[in-house]
A and B are shown apart, each in its own frame.
Chain A
């Protein structure tokens, strides 16, 4: 998570510097309002990473959900 965040920050900063790209969430800050950590309880008979993959597959990015609405 930390690595991904750093990488995204670097990319956003470089894009802003070189191309003037406005970084994410500047135009749709409401997408971050409900950003929270998730959790799940995996069934005992299922490997947790399968359960995790399944849960992740159902997750919807807030900014896309807002865009769809």
Chain B
């Protein structure tokens, strides 16, 4: 039985926490390579409690930056992905994939100090159709990523998967703009029993029970997925769209991963399982069904405060209404609104980029309606 202190140690993975430091020793799969298109909009990521954005510049390099512009903390998610970098929409500062500031159009040339400014950036590398992020900073004995833009240092490279592409399951949903959210959900989908847990216990007719389609998408409804009738209700199976991993024969992996739910031929996208996945962290929804609740309860000294401020939106999310399913403009609006609704102390805390405030209460809050 783990003690409360051990639970804290286990579950806090933000910057500066021991478990966070441990996780940051490994490369973390962040999103699909196919999600990042050169000179197109960035993609939001939430990795180990850090809000990041990923984008691909004109030359095809992938950059992973803190979502806040170092100038005025506007979200670079809204930035323009221009030639060779991402330009903040607020004052036009432009950053390349390594976080170097390339342009400061709001300052006269003689006051320009772009060489002193650096956005927080993490090393990113692509392997087998996935973008991996290394958030650990300099590795012991390794030069601080001096060669990052040119080539991935050998030590780091060994932490990555082989480059040989193998057709495998990274999730087929075009609907999901923010695929990083899917990865933990995929892991949950591995076991049949797990899938039936999160929302499965609510009685039929309960308003909290997610609509069938949502449940299905989150991968948590089994209801006999292997039976003939249930299969007919599923959307048609497609071949996996993205090459993902491996030096293991494809068939062996498929058999391995699909055995619990659908049998050897079951290729439902939600049963995609990757060997390495982003760990579920304390910013994930307590149900760990893949959705995120930015104001989750344990951050608040008084849980009632959480309910008052955040609950309505969280409740909607819990019912399968997810940011990533909406048109981007609406999602952005909602995210910003979320942010404004949080208490001032919390917001300020977030903006300084420190870890979430620790709280003596249990980590996973009990889900209430």
Which residues of chain A are near B246, meaning CB under 8 Å? 33
Which residues of chain A are near B140, meaning CB under 8 Å? 20, 22
User: Cβ of B159 and Cβ of A33 under 8 Å apart?
Assistant: no
Q: Select B22's contact among A6, A16, A29, A36, beta carbons within 8 Å.
A: A16
User: Cβ of A26 and Cβ of B21 under 8 Å apart?
Assistant: no
Given A6-B2, A9-B10, A16-B25, A30:B158 Cβ within 8 A:
yes
- Whether B6 sits at the interface, judged by CB under 8 Å, is yes
Within A1-18, the residues touching B (CB, 8 Å) are 6, 9-10, 12-14, 16-17
- Whether B26 sits at the interface, judged by CB under 8 Å, is yes
CA distance A23 to B246 in the complex (A): 23
Q: A residues within 8 Å of B by Cβ?
A: 6, 9-10, 12-14, 16-17, 20, 22-23, 25-30, 32-37
Which residues of chain A are near B10, meaning CB under 8 Å? 6, 9-10, 13
CA distance A30 to B256 in the complex (A): 18
Shortest distance between the CB of B97 and any CB in chain A (Å): 24
User: Cβ of A32 and Cβ of B275 under 8 Å apart?
Assistant: yes
User: Cβ of B159 and Cβ of A13 under 8 Å apart?
Assistant: no
Q: Which of A14, A28, A33, A34 has the most CB of B within 10 A?
A: A33
| Chain B, interface residues (CB within 8 Å), range | 20 to 34
Q: What residue of chain B has the Cβ atom nearest to residue A26's Cβ?
A: B25
Given A6-B10, A9-B10, A20-B140, A33:B247 Cβ within 8 A:
yes
Given A14-B18, A20-B140, A36:B160 Cβ within 8 A:
no
User: Cβ of B158 and Cβ of A13 under 8 Å apart?
Assistant: no
Q: What residue of chain A has the Cβ atom nearest to residue B247's Cβ?
A: A33
- Whether B367 sits at the interface, judged by CB under 8 Å, is no
Shortest distance between the CB of B141 and any CB in chain A (Å): 10
Given A6-B10, A29-B159, A36-B256, A16:B21 Cβ within 8 A:
yes
CA distance A22 to B158 in the complex (A): 15
- Whether B9 sits at the interface, judged by CB under 8 Å, is yes
Q: Select A17's contact among B18, B155, B247, beta carbons within 8 Å.
A: B18
- Nearest 9 pairs of A and B residues by beta carbon: A17-B18, A13-B18, A13-B22, A13-B19, A29-B159, A26-B25, A16-B22, A23-B25, A36-B256
Which residues of chain A are near B247, meaning CB under 8 Å? 33
User: Cβ of A26 and Cβ of B161 under 8 Å apart?
Assistant: no
